Structure 1
Amino acid sequence: MPEMVFEYILKNNGIDPAADLEIDQSIDFGSTAAAFTGDASAAFTVEFEPSATALEKEGAGYVVASLGVDSGYVPYTSYSAKTSFLNENPQVIQSFTTALQKGMDYVQSHTPEEIAQVIAPQFPETDLDTLTTIVTRYYEQDTWKDNLVFEQDSFELLQDILESAGELSERVDYEQLVATEFAKSAVK
């Protein structure tokens, strides 16, 4: 997905990923930061956190752009359930969604420093200063929506990206695939 988003952004800016640059797809995603620092000919790398911030702190690179900012809101995380499960267990789905919304509410109402403190136990390999830098960057980029509603614009963007990458042969109707009533109820 990161590469599809990256190529989508390049294409939207008049750059043909196949003709205008060389993308090395042979590197395991977890090893791209190390490969970037070890290859003098590499000009750019696409990194998730904490690798991007680690490269900056080491003086080995700079974060020059955010795929999330440049692509628009791409729903990287969504949850799927069979229609039968939704119909038979609406209270389970609502409870799950409401719990996730409480997390989104927390992010909206607390500082990056407070958020970093809370999430630190989940990232024992990353120091608090780095976590705070990452959360601050996400905060400033408006990475986190204030609700969990999977908007139609985001759904269409996701299909545009998949189609552009040659991974989607047929588009699907938003109303046919996305149920938003649980997320809308959780916001109330």
Structure 2
Amino acid sequence: MTPFGADKVMTAVLSGEADIGFMGSESSIYTYQEGANDVIKNFAQLTQRAGNFLVAREEMPDFSWDDLKGKDVLGGRKGGMPEMVFEYILKKNGINPQKDLSINQSIDFGSTAAAFSGGQADYTIEFEPSATALEAENSGYVVASLGVDSGYVPYTAYSAKTSYLNANPNIIQKFTNALQKGMDFVQSHTPEEIAKVIAPQFKETDLATITTIVSRYYEQDTWKSDLIFNEESFNLLLDILENSGELKERVPYEELVTTTFAKKAAH
């Protein structure tokens, strides 16, 4: 099932509607902070860079983050990973997210591209395929990659309740092994080859566009070669949450991450 947004995925896992969730790892930290008695644990990290892009109304070959000063930007939901990574980059570049520009956080996750092409804001933060679609219709141009400018961030991971992991280690191991096979395929094939394999999943997008999207992610080293969620990544995630004012206190890595399954799968 595909609930849009990490908050909705987490709700499905917590309610038992889903056994495994794939989402931004910040969600597991929030539920831990709220005192969840059955801790949601991350067991396989998939992406190591943010997958979204800053889209402008015109081509800006010499873009710098300072260009956003005084501008309107369609951002993401407060406390969500896309928005926090954006604010982290702004602060890294000496820009105050609250004072130096206006970030609109009221538009639903899937509707920002339509709002932008309809004339709202000077910039928008978009995932694929929206970023490429805006370029294709000449409504916008990708001027920066949040994934490149934020560095290696544990952006998405697979997680499950601790009770589920303990009760079903074989299922989780087989699932992680299958994911690792996928990662091995990505590492050993070209964007063109990958695009052909995944095309049936994206019937509404033509092969050339899928290839462009895969190439973009490929070139910026978005996918991990293994699924091991290491402590350094986790600490960077805590830094980003702290930076956004979303962290009550730093939470222990061992409580929220297990690398047992990913390490076995990588051998």
Query: Structure 1's 113 and 168: CA in aligned 2 closer, same or farther, altered over 3 A?
Result: same
Gaps of 5+ in 2: 1-80
**2:131 matched to 1:46?**
no
CA RMSD of aligned residues (A): 1.4
**2:88 matched to 1:5?**
no
**Structure 2 equivalent of residue 165 of structure 1:** 244
Gaps of 5+ in 1: none
Specify which of 84, 88, 101 is matched with residue 21 of structure 1.
101
SS state at 2:144 partner:
coil
Deviations 1:108-166 (A, max 9, x none): 11111111111111111111110000000111111111011111121111111112222
Moved more, 84-93 or 8-17: 84-93
- Matched AA of 2:96: D
Moved more, 144-153 or 14-23: 144-153
- Matched AA of 1:165: S
Indicate the structure whose relative CO is greater, using CA pairs within 8 Å and at least 6 residues apart: 2
Would you identify which runs of 4 or more consecutive aligned residues in structure 1 move more than 4 Å? none
- In 1, Cα distance between equivalents of 2:118 and 2:163: 51
Specify which of 192, 204, 207 is matched with residue 113 of structure 1.
192
Q: Where does 1:81-100 land on structure 2 (aligned, <5 Å)?
A: 81-100=160-179
Query: Structure 1's 81 and 26: CA in aligned 2 closer, same or farther, altered over 3 A?
Result: closer
- In 2, Cα distance between equivalents of 1:2 and 1:87: 31
- In 2, Cα distance between equivalents of 1:52 and 1:58: 10
**Structure 2 equivalent of residue 57 of structure 1:** 136
Q: CA deviation at 1:167?
A: 1.5
Q: CA deviation at 1:25?
A: 1.3
**Structure 1 equivalent of residue 261 of structure 2:** 182
- In 2, Cα distance between equivalents of 1:84 and 1:34: 41
Q: TM-score, normalised by structure 2?
A: 0.67
- Matched AA of 1:93: I
- In 1, Cα distance between equivalents of 2:116 and 2:158: 33
Instruction: Quote the sequence identity (%).
Output: 75
- In 1, Cα distance between equivalents of 2:209 and 2:167: 43
Q: CA deviation at 1:57?
A: 1.5
Q: CA deviation at 1:84?
A: 3.5
Q: TM-score, normalised by structure 1?
A: 0.93
- In 1, Cα distance between equivalents of 2:167 and 2:119: 54
Deviations 1:5-30 (A, max 9, x none): 10111111110010000011121221
